[in-house]
């Protein structure tokens, strides 16, 4: 995340340094594009309705030069906060501790030969986290008063740009393994797959905190 911001910040600094800002010029068009990319990056890397996103709104209709400079300043603030770890919320920290406890439990069960229970616990942790990601990113978790299924929330998070199609497919595969364990299809997977399941979910929780 920080690397992406660094690249955009560097491009913005180069473009703002001594260029012709006459309306309609090549530089003016490039500034608009870069301002949009900075805005998209800040929105993508922060919580729905975060202070960083709120800071972008006053300049949404400003000149290209003004928008670029303002969005550049917001991006620098976000980058510095990410480097300092200040973007973690109390909710995210509590969730991280809770998920860690459950995944440690799943790990211990697998080590003792209880792969099925380990798969169910890991799958439950994954579904709860997917729901939390929806809440964090302003994605609805219910339709007509009924909770959405995990697969639907997974697809919605991909549509919202929280993660890409590859991550969506991986989560679908994990949910399938969880469903097999929950429905008693114990011969359809083995210990190695459950091991990869636990490790994969752990990495997913760290990459996409909620």
| pLDDT tens-digit readout, 62-75 | 578 788 888 888 88
| pLDDT tens-digit readout, 175-201 | 999 999 989 999 999 999 999 999 999
| Same-domain status, 174 and 97 | yes
- Host domain of residue 68: 2-84
Q: How many domains would you assign to the chain?
A: 2
Residue 17's CB: how many other CB atoms inside 10 A? Answer: 7
- Report d(CA 137, CA 210) in Å as an integer: 9
CB 193 within 8 A of CB 177: yes
Instruction: Identify the CATH number of the domain in which residue 99 sits.
Output: 1.20.120
| Same-domain status, 21 and 95 | no
| pLDDT tens-digit readout, 198-207 | 999 989 988 8
| Same-domain status, 197 and 109 | yes
| Same-domain status, 71 and 128 | no
């Amino acid at each position: 995340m920080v690397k992406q911001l660094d690249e955009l910040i560097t491009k913005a600094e180069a473009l703002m340094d001594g260029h012709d800002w006459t309306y309609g010029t090549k530089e003016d068009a490039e500034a608009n594009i870069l301002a949009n990319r900075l805005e998209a990056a800040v929105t993508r890397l922060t919580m729905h309705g975060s202070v960083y996103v709120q800071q972008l709104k006053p300049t949404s209709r400003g000149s290209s030069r003004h928008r670029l400079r303002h969005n550049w300043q917001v991006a620098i603030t976000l980058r510095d906060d990410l480097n300092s770890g200040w973007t973690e919320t109390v909710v995210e920290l509590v969730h991280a501790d809770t998920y860690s406890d459950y995944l440690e439990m799943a790990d211990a069960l697998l080590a003792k030969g209880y792969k099925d229970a380990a798969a169910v616990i890991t799958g439950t942790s994954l579904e709860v986290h997917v729901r939390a990601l929806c809440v964090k990113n302003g994605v609805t978790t219910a339709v007509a008063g009924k909770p959405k299924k995990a697969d639907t929330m997974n697809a919605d998070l991909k549509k919202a740009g929280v993660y890409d199609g590859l991550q969506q497919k991986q989560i679908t595969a994990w949910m399938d393994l969880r469903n097999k364990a929950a429905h008693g299809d114990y011969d359809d997977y083995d210990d190695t797959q459950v091991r990869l399941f636990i490790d994969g979910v752990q990495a997913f929780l760290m990459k996409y905190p909620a």
